[in-house]
Chains A and B, each alone.
Chain A
């Protein structure tokens, strides 16, 4: 008997999940080795991070606060992956949503529940408007969504910077570079953790049902898997692309509105905390499974939180971004490796 390596057309789910776990673990080992080489004690830092994150109610509340935006931005990326498109502009749509929700809170008034509803709608609309041009360009002119969605991130960040330091600047309390505190806030369920977390989880379940068990979701998947064949099956590709991209932008915008109304309460630069970019990670790690995103968002929240804890130890939060990128590259490599298998064959028979 001898063995040879063969590539399978698709990787089995269990191998692909192991590849993801392996990628995340190796990235942490590489980061730890670099820390060690630069004179730090990675094991002590790791223990410190775990103790700070899971050892206290304060740490757990912080984690709970970070999971919901990561969950939503991950869902936004995963939704578009169903039709085989990349939304690299979730960061910008997040800002667009926060901008829309702030506008609603500044220019409308009413009871708190009505304000929250208006802010949620305005947030979704903000995200949708932010993805509108890339959507139309993709649907009607075949312009790659990769770069069009991404370029608008920079515009959104500049827009939020502009309004929060200019027209909407808080002049009453002399808050520098931020709008006044918004009136309505999402009620909390546990300490600082608010209703955004269960809402985001419910949305994940709803999307899993929508894409997994409805004819519409099936058509979207077919359109993504085989764009040449889909029109012959009578699927209106263009309409499906537009609907899915606007849905993705809407979810990202909702994430921005929720972050504003639930956690930050003021529109300011840097409100997104890189959630849009990290959402790509969340979706990729979960293999775009909507329920898996709950797990991978929690994992990313721990990573992000460790960055904040490590900052108190004199490390830079940007190091977390580098580690995230490392996980992304190693996941891509692991994904490809998961396609390969050893097969045994009998040389005498061959």
Chain B
């Protein structure tokens, strides 16, 4: 396997969790709710996956269990932010603290132990023999196909090609108008927030079941926050979110290659790359292409609780 193929293969694995978390955040934000709890949800998902895989020896069950835990915490978050309409920023930060704290507390017995089972590559005959991209794209595990091929396209069609998706976007842009035309703002927000949270926890499971196959306290290491930032960079579009995540997987993979080949840069400094890269990618486009702002603008109702009587 040549170097480029190696980097690409790692990029899909390193970017997969970011893609899944970012897709979840696209769902919540398109419906008008900012969920800053992604980091905490990923921690919970990462631990749930390892714990389930240890007990049942099945990566699929581990992934499903993480989705379930994410859905449960997402429902609690939705009750707080959508039903009670509490401040979304505070609830999100709170959820991150609860998630990371809880996962670290409950996960002590699993710390440092490798996941006993992981998702193994599924080779797609024919396509996997293509030069360079073949092994990287068509000899990956099921989750990679799900996260980079199936979900982005499915969510794009759901949001931009169906009547239901139009309703969801209306709720995010102008909940008052959506409400007036008979769309249930609270119901759509509630379930999109909950589903987004499930995907965020699934992203944690992606991390511990494929990319870093073990649980440790700092395993998520800010990747949840990077995922939230990628959503802005991707202009709140599912396919762009997956591509942006792949780009970040690529940056992370470059850092690995740097360490493996003994570049004269400290690993700590190489580890800064994804965070600095994210920072650059959310600031530079806004400065460089001011006219692009409308194209990449956030949903107008984002972050604001909807009160019918204040319409």
Least CB distance from A242 to B in Å reads 16
Partner of B85 from A86, A166, A277, A336 at Cβ < 8 Å? A336
A71 within 8 A of B: no
Main secondary structure of the interface of A (DSSP, over half): helix
Residues in A neighbouring B232, C-beta threshold 8 A: 144, 147
A322-B97 CB under 8 A given contacts A147-B282, A154-B275: yes
Least CB distance from B63 to A in Å reads 24
A25 within 8 A of B: no
Interface of chain A residues 273 through 326 with chain B (CB within 8 A): 277, 280, 284, 315-316, 318-326
Contact with B along A114-138 (1 / 0, CB 8 A): 0000000000000000000100010
Q: Give Cα A133 to B280, complex, Å.
A: 10
Residues in B neighbouring A326, C-beta threshold 8 A: 94, 98
Residues in A neighbouring B118, C-beta threshold 8 A: none
A146-B36 CB under 8 A given contacts A316-B108, A318-B100, A319-B105: yes
A205 within 8 A of B: no
Structural contact, B101 and A162, CB atoms closer than 8 A: no
A195 within 8 A of B: no
Q: Give Cα A322 to B89, complex, Å.
A: 17
A206 within 8 A of B: no
Interface of chain B residues 209 through 230 with chain A (CB within 8 A): 217, 221-222, 225-226, 228-229
Q: Number of B interface residues, CB 8 Å?
A: 47
Partner of B97 from A158, A161, A328 at Cβ < 8 Å? A328
Least CB distance from A321 to B in Å reads 3
Structural contact, A151 and B278, CB atoms closer than 8 A: yes
Interface of chain B residues 92 through 108 with chain A (CB within 8 A): 93-102, 104-105, 108
Structural contact, B269 and A162, CB atoms closer than 8 A: yes
Which residues of A are at the interface with B, using a C-beta cutoff of 8 A?
A: 7, 86, 88, 133, 137, 140-144, 146-148, 150-155, 158-159, 161-162, 165-166, 277, 280, 284, 315-316, 318-329, 331-333, 335-337
Which residues of B are at the interface with A, using a C-beta cutoff of 8 A?
A: 36, 40, 80, 84-87, 89-91, 93-102, 104-105, 108, 217, 221-222, 225-226, 228-229, 232, 266, 268-269, 271-272, 275-276, 278-279, 282-283, 286-287, 305, 307, 309
